[in-house]
Amino acid sequence: MRPGILSPKPSTASNPCDECGARCCKKFLIAPTASDIARLSSKLGTAAPEFLEAFPAEKCACVHAPSFWVDGKEIFIGLKRKKGACLFLRGNACSVHNFKPLVCRTFPFCLNKYEVEKSSFCGKDVLMEKDGESLIERYERELKLMRRDAVEWNWRTGGERGLGQLATFMQAKARERAGISRIISKLKF
Ligand code: SF4
Ligand code: SF4
């Protein structure tokens, strides 16, 4: 375990989200990683631009994900919003719970350098999933890869291509990495 990282444990108590009214799904822009986009698109059988939106960078001060240049503007890729909430919110429940973005699975925790930070917005102080530390580290790894993707995208396109092409680019990156991981796991055995 790395120094300073806490190991959030799965709660044995009832789920605090049940009584919260899904405040986080209403409040925050949800920035998916490349693998989140590929998974959502595949599970929903929907082209990624159907659920993605380009949000102007100046309105997204606290997003951990990198920004991209799209159609000549600096943006963050986020899940579309509908009636003041994430488009996947139904009542107070997540309609894509089984394959939702990593940031939704780790919230209210995220890594800031080597420290796990908890958002003060949320009263929940435990992760509801098992093996929370590796989940947070995976999210951090994916964000690092996404920062590299952003540099490559901006350099290759000059920031002049659209969101649909960016979504295609990111899904290709996710597939490429999944392929490499499969090859590595075969080599291990
Ligand atoms: S994660 Fe926190 S803010 Fe979000 S629904 Fe659960 S308790 Fe509410
Ligand atoms: S994907 Fe699900 S958990 Fe994440 S913000 Fe949307 S409704 Fe909430």
**Averaged confidence pLDDT in the chain:** 86
pLDDT in tens, 9-31: 444 456 778 888 999 999 988 99
38 within a domain of the structure (yes/no): yes
Q: Quote the pTM value.
A: 0.87
Mean pLDDT in residue range 38-63: 85
Tens digit of pLDDT for each residue in 75-108? Answer: 999 999 999 999 999 999 999 999 999 999 998 8
Domain count, the chain: 1
Task: Give residues (CB < 6 A) around ligand 2.
Answer: 25, 30, 79, 86, 88-89, 94, 96, 100-101, 104
- Tell me which of 14, 19, 24 to substitute to probe ligand 1's pocket, judged by most ligand atoms within 8 Å of the beta carbon: 24
Helix (H, G, I), strand (E, B) or coil at 115: strand
Minimum CA distance residue for ligand 1 atom 2: 122
More confident: 31 or 131: 31
8 in any annotated domain: no
Decide if pLDDT at 124 tops 90: no
Residue 120 has pLDDT above 90, yes or no: no
Report percent pLDDT > 70 for the chain.
Answer: 87
- Say what the pLDDT of residue 7 is: 47
Comparison of pLDDT for 112 and 166, the residue scoring more = 166
Is 26 a pocket residue for ligand 1 (Cβ < 6 Å)? no
Band (127; pLDDT cuts 50, 70, 90)? confident
65-68 LR contacts (CB < 8 Å, sep 24+): 65/31, 65/33, 65/103, 65/143, 65/146, 66/143, 66/146, 66/147, 66/149, 66/150, 67/150, 68/150, 68/153, 68/154, 68/159, 68/166
Residue 3 lies in a domain: no
Task: Flag whether pLDDT at 8 surpasses 50.
Answer: no
Domain that holds residue 75: 16-188
Q: Does the beta carbon of 17 sit less than 6 angstroms from any atom of ligand 1? A: yes
Residue 1 is assigned to a structural domain of this protein: no
Of 9 and 124, more confident: 124
pLDDT computed for residue 2 by the predictor: 43
In a domain? residue 92: yes
Mean pLDDT of 24-47: 94
Do the beta carbons of residue 60 and residue 76 sit within 8 Å? Answer: yes
For position 134, what pLDDT does the model report?
Answer: 85
- In this structure, of 47-51, 127-131, 157-161, the range with the lowest mean pLDDT score is 127-131
Q: What does the DSSP assignment read for 82-114?
A: ETTEETTEETTEETTGGG--HHHHHTTEEEETT
CB 54 within 8 A of CB 152: no
